[in-house]
Amino acid sequence: MALNQSIYHSPVFQQACNQFDAAADILGMDAGLRERTKRPRRCVVVSMPVRMDDGRIEIFEGYRVQHNLSTGPAKGGIRFHHEVTLGEVAALAMWMSWKCSLAGLPYGGGKGGVIVDPRKLSKTELERLSRRYMQEILPFIGPNVDIPAPDVGTDAQVMAWMMDTYSNHKGFYDPGVITGKPISLGGSLGRKEATGEGVAWFVKAYLQDFGIKPEQTKVVIQGFGNVGSEAALALYDWGAEVIGISDYTGGIHNPKGIDLKAALDYVQKNKNLQGFPGGDALTNEQLMELPCTVLIPAALERVITEKNAAKLQCRILAEGANGPTTYEADQIIRQRGDIHIIPDVLCNSGGVIVSYFEWLQNLQNYYWTKGEVFDKLYRMLAKAKASVDETAKKYKCSHRTAALVLGIARVSEAKAQRGLFP
């Protein structure tokens, strides 16, 4: 039976399904197992009444999708964004399944989302909404069931409120229910930097494969949030030049290199990059077409489309965001043959890998140094890179399809071997 598209209907979900099918074709997966592996397992829709500061009650809508529970508890972030849809969350949950599987983590995949622009809430409203969301999904989560984490629009403070809500309900401190927490509440050293550090690690590894040196590397980053800014700093420290950055207000271009510390200070003070004096202003669309060595989309899905794929001028496209390249754009880039894509499920997996380390530390009540965290992280990234490179060669397919073949195969094998219950 075909998937009921009316539930998850969205271009992002379709994109994830198209990518899945390309990998399932290579695996020769039969129709039954294919549908069983593709379909989200469980989806919770909640409405949350929240008292606003002016006394009004506003109702927010939220989701938690558990795509795969066959290889461990669901794992994946919670997104607060005004354009969140169920289909988008389902696609993101599916990508978490493949990401965790590819990295060899003992998890399934999940994702949460709330339709809200968190920038428009006061801190107290944000706290009430975060607690209420956790309260509503509480029967479906837990350290062995589903472990949320930060995503676009949420941070360590939001995770702290959610962990506190969960722990109060249980009656004891239970930090393993959520990752990306503040260090004082069982967060892991290195988790904040992990996604961006991981993106930079892959960029450096592929540049080395292509014989490109740090001083020859010009980087453009779309999205200067947690992932984009940490990747920028790591590549700058390595010796690359960051010539373009952007956020939802627009971009900044400086061919001589952007002063990242000044940009970060500016964002801290002004909340966004608008008016930053360290370069020329341009739109996000213009920014992505700048000539550069490495382009890192590090914000939302579907920013590289059939409209701009032919105009990109980078050697490496490193997907810090989830799903930034549409299925159609993927085909165009593959035909061009001059751009290497480091696919999202590989490129940004450093975040969930260190989330796994955080969860392990919580369960063992034994905490690691930052050196131990990064040493273990880099070893896991290197292993994943080697297996994706090898699989792409073996099947003569794109690195995206290779990464998905590896991620999907482990999940579908587990499902086939567990059998059907009852």
The one segment of 17-25, 200-208, 285-293, 350-358 that binds ligand GLU by CB under 6 A:
350-358
Q: Determine if 38 is a binding residue for ligand GLU (CB under 6 A).
A: no
> Binding to ligand GLU by residue 15, rule CB under 6 A?
no
Q: Which residues within the stretch 297-336 sit at the binding site for ligand GLU (CB under 6 A)? A: 322
* C-beta of residue 132 within 8 angstroms of C-beta of residue 151: no
If one asks whether residue 149 binds ligand GLU (CB under 6 A), the answer comes out as yes
For residue 57, list its beta bridge partners: 51
Catalytic residue among 75, 99, 111, 192: 111
- Per CB under 6 A, does 113 bind ligand GLU? no
179 lines the binding site for ligand GLU (CB under 6 A): yes
351 binds ligand GLU (CB under 6 A): yes
- Exposure pattern of 226-240 as b/e (b: 16+ CB <10 Å)? bbbbbbbbbbbeeeb
CA distances from residue 346 to 200, 207, 380, 387, 397 in whole angstroms, order as listed: 12, 16, 11, 11, 15
- The residue (of 266 and 368) whose beta carbon lies closer to ligand GLU is 368
CA-to-CA distance for 97 and 36, rounded, in angstroms?
A: 13
Does residue 348 bind ligand GLU (CB under 6 A)?
yes
Tell me the per-residue interface mask from 352 to 371 with ligand GLU, x by CB under 6 A, - otherwise: x--x----------------
Angle at 170 between CA 166 and CA 172, to 5 degrees: 95
Interaction between residue 187 and ligand GLU (CB under 6 A): no
Looking at the Cβ atoms of 91 and 263, the one nearer to ligand GLU is 91
Cα 166 to Cα 129, 160, 232, 294, 348, distances in angstroms? 14, 10, 35, 41, 28
The owner of tokens 């962990």 is: 163
Q: Counting contacts by CB under 6 A, is residue 188 touching ligand GLU?
A: no
The order of strands in the sheet holding 294-297 is 280-282, 250-253, 241-247, 218-222, 294-297, 316-318, 340-342
Instruction: Output 161 or 266, the one with its CB closest to ligand GLU.
Output: 161
How far apart, in whole angstroms, are the C-alpha atoms of residue 260 and residue 265? 9
Does residue 108 contact residue 70 with C-beta atoms inside 8 Å?
yes
111 has catalytic annotation = yes
Q: Which of 62, 72, 73, 76 binds ligand GLU (CB under 6 A)?
A: 76
Among 127, 151, 193, 241, binds ligand GLU (CB under 6 A): 151
User: Of the listed pieces 4-12, 73-81, 118-126, 300-308, which binds ligand GLU according to CB under 6 A?
Assistant: 73-81
| Contacts with 95 (C-beta within 8 Å, 6 or more apart), sequence order | 16, 109, 322, 323, 344, 345
Residues carrying an active site annotation: 111
Residues that bind ligand GLU (CB under 6 A): 75-77, 149, 151, 179-180, 322, 348, 351-352, 355
